[in-house]
């Protein structure tokens, strides 16, 4: 499968003068990742982890300290002008021209990229009024305009930093549907986010970044293998807590008529043991992507 983005050993250090003289902040410290054609790739991490710096390097807004970046098979720096015609980009905080209306922004982009066949559909789906000046829009409507400008020409590669910031749940779902439609057409989406349910909903793979380093790259569909399970069991008979102290049972909490078990890995030994008891109720639930994410942050420093 073709790589749409290839980042190899990317480093970006910012220098400053402190009390002891010149020093550096390692915003991105040697990360590598690949984004395949037609996938939705989630780039996860809290504020300050290096997500936005990585995106700015990919977009050639800032230059790496070292490392290489290829986008659509081209050098991200040498072929920057060509690539910007192929990429739809949404920054994390949409800032446009205060005195222009939404429609004037749309007209300007069309003057550069040609007429859009998709823009009227986007206006309708986002319930967006293009007749007002940008400075009068709410934060949600500013985000809508940013999304329209990013998506209106259905670019081959879409790079978004917190795409649903400030939007209500209904509009978030509309955006997820648009992502699904674009992916079916072979478009590629790179999404930076700390909205974990969102990433779990839309992404095929996720890269997790911590303190400028990649600490995990996972297929969303396989994250279940790493997840914790919560087993809530209520008994009709007396039970022994010690019967459930298996390897992989990380926590046992007693409740009035049963137990809550936190289980990692194979759940079959627990199920077999429960079969020897008469049960009143049994519930097994998966931990969320957020739990997996927190596990990475708790114990891992690099891949």
State the pLDDT at residue 303: 41
- What is the C-alpha to C-alpha distance for residues 10 and 68, in angstroms, rounded to an integer? 6
Q: How confident is the model at residue 141 (pLDDT cuts 50, 70, 90)?
A: very high
**β 188-193/157-161 pair status:** parallel
Are 3-221 and 228-286 in the same CATH fold?
no
Confidence of residue 302 (pLDDT cuts 50, 70, 90): very low
Phi, psi of 302 (to 5 degrees): -160, 170
Q: Residue ranges per domain, the chain?
A: 3-221, 228-286
The predicted pLDDT at position 226 comes to 60
Q: Are 66 and 7 in contact (CB under 8 A)?
A: no
Q: Is the pLDDT assigned to residue 219 strictly greater than 90?
A: no
Position 115 scores a pLDDT of 95
- What gap in Å lies between CA 253 and CA 103, rounded to an integer? 58
Closest CA to 112 of 144, 78, 149: 149
Query: In terms of pLDDT, which residue wins out, 27 or 166?
Result: 27
For the stretch 240-269, pLDDT in tens is: 888 888 888 888 888 989 999 888 777 888
Measured distance between the N- and C-terminal CA atoms of the chain, rounded to whole angstroms: 23
Mean pLDDT value across the chain: 89
Q: How confident is the model at residue 146 (pLDDT cuts 50, 70, 90)?
A: very high
- The pTM assigned to this predicted structure is 0.79
Helix (H) or strand (E) holding 22: strand 21-36
The pLDDT confidence band at residue 297, using thresholds 50, 70 and 90, is: low
The CA-CA-CA angle for residues 95, 100, 104, to 5°, reads: 105
Residue pair 148/106 in contact (Cβ under 8 Å)? The answer is yes
Sign (positive or negative) of CA dihedral 297, 201, 166, 86 = positive
Q: Are 187 and 160 in contact (CB under 8 A)?
A: no
Say which residue, 221 or 122, is predicted with more confidence: 122
Q: Tokens 């400028």 — which residue?
A: 212
Domain 228-286: give its CATH code: 3.30.70.260
User: How deeply is 270 buried, as exposed, middle or buried, from its count of CB atoms within 10 A (0-12, 13-18, 19+)?
Assistant: buried
Q: What is the CATH superfamily name and number for domain 3-221?
A: P-loop containing nucleotide triphosphate hydrolases (3.40.50.300)
Contact criterion met (CB below 8 Å) for 71 and 27: no
DSSP string for residues in 134-169 = GGGS-HHHHHHHHHHHHHTT--SEEEEESTTTT--H
């Amino acid at each position: 499968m073709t790589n749409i983005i290839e980042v190899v050993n990317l480093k970006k250090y910012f220098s400053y003068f402190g009390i002891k003289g010149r020093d550096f902040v390692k915003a991105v410290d040697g990360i590598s990742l690949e984004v395949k054609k037609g996938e939705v790739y989630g780039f996860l991490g809290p504020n300050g982890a290096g997500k936005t710096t990585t995106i700015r390097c990919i977009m050639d807004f800032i230059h790496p300290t070292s490392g290489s970046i290829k986008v659509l098979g081209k050098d991200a720096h040498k072929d920057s002008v060509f690539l910007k015609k192929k990429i739809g980009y949404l920054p994390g905080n949409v800032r446009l021209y205060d005195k222009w209306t939404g429609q004037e922004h749309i007209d300007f982009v069309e003057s550069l990229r040609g007429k859009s066949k998709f823009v009227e559909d986007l206006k309708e789906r986002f319930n967006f009024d293009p007749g007002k000046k940008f400075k009068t829009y709410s934060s949600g409507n500013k985000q809508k305009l940013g999304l329209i400008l990013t998506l209106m020409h259905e670019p081959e590669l879409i790079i978004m930093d917190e795409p649903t910031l400030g939007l209500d749940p209904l509009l978030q779902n509309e955006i997820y549907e648009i992502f699904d439609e674009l992916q079916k057409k072979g478009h590629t989406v790179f999404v930076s986010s700390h909205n974990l349910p969102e990433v779990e909903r839309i992404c095929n793979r996720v890269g997790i970044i911590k303190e400028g380093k990649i600490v995990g790259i996972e297929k969303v569909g396989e994250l279940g293998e790493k997840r914790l399970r919560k087993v809530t069991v209520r008994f009709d008979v007396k039970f022994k807590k010690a019967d459930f102290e298996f390897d992989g049972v990380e926590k046992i909490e007693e409740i009035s008529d049963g137990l809550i078990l936190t289980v990692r890995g194979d759940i079959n030994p627990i199920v077999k043991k429960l079969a020897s008891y008469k049960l009143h109720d049994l519930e097994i639930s998966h931990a969320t992507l957020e739990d997996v994410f927190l596990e990475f942050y708790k114990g891992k420093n690099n891949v």
